[in-house]
Structure 1
């Protein structure tokens, strides 16, 4: 029963997948202009705004895309700042060490029991 309760959000996600429309921003960035316009119009209808609001939002998307095309994107842009790069690398190293240490701790405990070291329980 516990595992079924844990799976409930995944079932809700699968049901919502068909109902929730794709993001107009994603559709616009993918070059699917007509679908972006339809998604914006559907959202404006749902929120009781007119189709003129959808046109205005689509124009704003066009202007934002033109402004963003001048800037570099990707992972290298993220690591361009020294402080962000150092933090990212340190957190990655910390994650790797924690993952490795957890496995090593489990393995060394079992290995010590196999070689005769006794188990001690906290009382």
Structure 2
């Protein structure tokens, strides 16, 4: 019985060592992960938010049936609001159904790619998705 207790204690010691190693490895990477997070946040605040907030206001105001095409034309500066069929949903419902996923894809892609010209990037991005959204 004493041998079994000794083995159990040894397993506990090994498990504690593994936990300590994992914690140490995590804490070594933590500053780097925090730096990357801050860089992404700064990029979004400085480059994406000013452009995207105006686009979101416009798309929620008009609620076009083809949100991706509407946004592509908006970012190109060639938007003709008369050319679209509009739906009548409550704003939150429209956002959830038509806009949320599309904007999440666009923002994630822009943060990943870090384009120089955000408006052109978004215009091309939304243009490529006009058949799906």
TM-score, scaled to structure 1: 0.23
> Whose radius of gyration is greater, 1 or 2?
1
Greater relative contact order (Cα < 8 A, sep 6+) = 2
Instruction: Compare the two structures and name the one with the higher helix fraction.
Output: 2
The TM-score normalised by the length of structure 2 is 0.22
